[in-house]
Structure 1
């Protein structure tokens, strides 16, 4: 117990110092990135971060409320009317991601199933939970997806800072003190009741988002998010990402680290290039298009987008659309591509047999 308290104190102090430094530097989402880097430092140093399992779902549900404020009924209608643009952007990012994963598998940088599941451009928690059912090493997949989230978060924050510094500042917390906050409490509480019955890693985020959109767009209920709820949520999300980078996991993937990092950087660059035509076709600014195609976690992108003067509804709509598509098609894509990898066909057939036996 004393050791856990000591680690928590060190983690909190280190998070505060790093977050304050990033805030002074003007970096967006400093309260996310500072704690994330602090958690990585503590985890790599051998410390076990004592994060209560109830806190990440709670933080995700609050970030879901942040996203819900962007997805108004007008935005949803815009998505439906321009469905081709959204599907084109979503599947383009998915194509680039799984192509890079297939290359990693062909080069045997990672086992085939791990490389394919770990290349998923979003839905990090869901992919980490789903992959084990399909025979992939959960620890290695978690490392790949959270390394991508970490690198994408850093890259998008730096790019946003460069652009924002030339266009003026933007509030860190998009709150409106003239609106009530009680609906937010009710939605977060309902989310906590509903999500245990749903077998989906990102259920708190999605349920909170859906309830928020329902209340605001269909019931006409306007409310705000208090800063004292958002700030701790940023910190918890940062800790949740950073604690994945333990010494044990890094020991398993040390040889593959340069190749996986390079692959992630290529993915970031590919999505950045994709943002150029998307910005022209969708008639949005380039930074909005870049964040919309960014293959990071929807929660971390939401935090960065909220503190950046961009088209937040467009970004969130694209991120949520890709998340939903990934949940539906990622298992099919991963298992299909595994059939074209040497040495993986037998594993796929064996796993298919096990799944059939389980269903019977």
Structure 2
């Protein structure tokens, strides 16, 4: 590492500490995610180039997957299975609304047709970015649209959670989760999921595999693994940095004209999903904040971090988020291809 690069990392770390500290002072949830994310965005748009090694981000995703696994026990999943119509309705409603907004962006020629459709996917950002190029979409523009919404959703859900809980739960560092299993089991599971996820090239593999490993370990073998703060906190920071550093000055210059419309589309989707949370909360007998987080069209990892910072129904939130991720992997290419047929030729 050169002296210049080391200086850049030091500046990013200092900015992240400042923003995280300010967010902690106002008791905003997930300060260790949002602070580094904001710092990384400012750093990236200033023209300085840094990147998080893919293996580090994969390990951070694995830790978030284990956090999700702690909430998704088999008994909880069986209970959710009894209410499958609610999950199917919630998942498909968000997917159809998202692609509908993407179709409108394409019709208005804000973005090229297939790019607008793929960029409107409600989650699974890393997977959609990898898949879209095979279907004729501009990968850079799709990534910008997806990660802009991830940032907006993270900010919106944190603010909503702050006011919903009257600021009593958000402004804290990650809570350590203690267990009777050996402490080395946690990094071992995360490392195994990271290695397998990277080598199999499975979209969001580390996140999904660590979640599966964690569920099998705790329900199949009785391993109740610990999640210490010294592993969770750096994982939150790495996720925030990875998202924020994608917003380079080159990409922003390329999409500057479309930025207002894309931002409005994302905010509209966030608002519609918030309205959708009302009937889901009533039908599923969960609190409104849990239903709101469950329908939020952002990344499952960032939503998991925010949910873990608040008194919500974590199993319900994670089950809905994971169900939508898996459904997107199955139906997104077909929906994007179908809707593209109803667009004028470019």
The TM-score bracket by the shorter chain reads over 0.9
Deviations 1:287-316 (A, max 9, x none): 000000000100000000000001111000
Q: Structure 2: which 5+ runs fail to align?
A: none
Per-residue CA deviations over 1:30-86 (Å, capped at 9, x if unaligned) read 000000000000000001014222111111011101111110111110221111111
Give the whole-Å Cα distance in 2 for the aligned partners of 1:260 and 1:9.
33
Structure 1: gaps of 5 or more residues? 345-360
Distance (Å, rounded) in 2 between the aligned partners of 1:321 and 1:177: 27
* 1:169 Cα deviation after fit: 6.2
Q: Which residue of 2 aligns with 1:58?
A: 59
Alpha-carbon distance, 1:248 to partner? 0.3
- Determine if contact 2:16/2:36 at 8 Å carries over to the other structure: yes
Partner of 1:196: 198
Correspondence list, 1:276-295, <5 A: 276-295=278-297
* Aligned Cα root-mean-square deviation (Å): 1.3
Q: Find out whether 1:325 has 2:322 as its counterpart.
A: no
Instruction: Look up the SS of the partner of 1:255 in the other structure.
Output: helix
- Match in the other structure for 1:118: 119
Mapped pair 1:109 → 2:128: no
Measured in 2, the distance between the counterparts of 1:305 and 1:77 equals: 21
Give aligned pairs, total.
Answer: 344
Could you say which residue in structure 1 is the equivalent of 2:340?
338
Corresponding position of 2:7: 6
- State the Cα distance separating 1:156 from its structure 2 match: 0.1
Residues in 2 aligned to 1:192 and 1:173: alpha-carbon distance in whole angstroms? 22
Residue 88 of structure 2: aligned partner: 87
Instruction: Map 1:70-219 to 2 at 5 A.
Output: 70-165=71-166, 172-180=173-181, 181-219=183-221
Deviation for aligned residue 1:110: 0.3
**Would the aligned equivalents of 2:273 and 2:295 in 1 still touch at CA under 8 Å?**
yes
TM-score (norm 2): 0.97
Within 1, Cα distance between the matches of 2:46 and 2:166?
A: 35
For normalisation by structure 1, the TM-score amounts to: 0.93
Question: 8 Å contact 2:129–2:142 — kept in the other structure?
Answer: yes
Q: Cα offset for 1:168?
A: 5.5
Q: From 213, 236, 239, give the equivalent of 1:234.
A: 236
Q: Is the 8 A contact 2:28 2:171 kept in 1?
A: no
> 1:55, 1:120 → 2: CA distance?
25
Measure how far apart 1:178 and its partner are. Answer: 4.8
Alpha-carbon distance between aligned partners in 1 of 2:197 and 2:166, rounded to the nearest angstrom: 39
Shift of 1:135: 1.2
The alpha-carbon distance between structure 1 residues 168 and 145, as it changes in their structure 2 partners (threshold 3 A), is closer
